[in-house]
């Protein structure tokens, strides 16, 4: 049942159990149980909460391989995981890839990327991103 899996994966994300969430998703794929955007989003969210940027990136790539189309939520969570992992260049790259992937950058994706740049000492880049938010009619928080 996809809904039960979503419930389980959401619970694991809230409990910051990214490895367990990944194992559940992996078992689902191995047994050819339908996986969807909610399953991947929950698992990536668990990675984000634990700062496991590498696993979050792997899951984002795996989505395309399994014909699940990433959305703003999956990109934003992955960018946030990169922010928490000190991976400002990856966060910036993901933000720039979003329009091509038909995922519209939002306040969360911009804020996480700005945070990643700021934490790494790239404040000029952070300011540039902040000003670009106004050009795309987003209000920073």
For residue 77, what are its two tokens?
């969570």
DSSP tag of 141:
-
Long-range contacts of 56-59 (CB under 8 A, 24+ apart): 56/81, 56/82, 57/81, 57/82, 57/90, 59/22, 59/25
Between residues 28 and 134, which one has the greater pLDDT?
28
- Cα–Cα dist 75/83, whole Å: 12
Residue 101: Cβ within 10 Å count = 16
Q: Is the Cα dihedral 92, 82, 141, 63 positive or negative?
A: positive
pLDDT of 53: 97
pLDDT of 83: 97
What's this model's pTM, rounded to 2 decimal places? 0.93
For residue 76, what are its two tokens?
């934003």
DSSP tag of 23:
H
Mean pLDDT of 120-125: 96
């Amino acid at each position: 049942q996809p809904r039960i899996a979503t419930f389980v994966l959401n619970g694991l994300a809230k409990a910051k159990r990214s490895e367990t969430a990944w194992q559940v998703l992996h078992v689902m794929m191995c047994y050819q149980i339908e996986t969807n955007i909610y399953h991947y989003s929950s698992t990536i969210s668990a990675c984000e909460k634990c700062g496991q940027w590498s696993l979050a990136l792997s899951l984002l790539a795996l989505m395309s391989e399994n014909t699940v189309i990433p959305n703003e939520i999956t990109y934003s969570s992955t960018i946030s995981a990169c922010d928490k992992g000190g991976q400002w260049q990856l966060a910036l790259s993901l933000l720039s890839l979003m329009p091509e992937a038909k995922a519209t950058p939002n306040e969360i994706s911009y804020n996480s990327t700005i945070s990643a740049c700021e934490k790494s000492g790239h404040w000029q880049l952070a300011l540039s991103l902040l000003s670009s938010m106004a050009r795309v009619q987003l209000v920073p928080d």
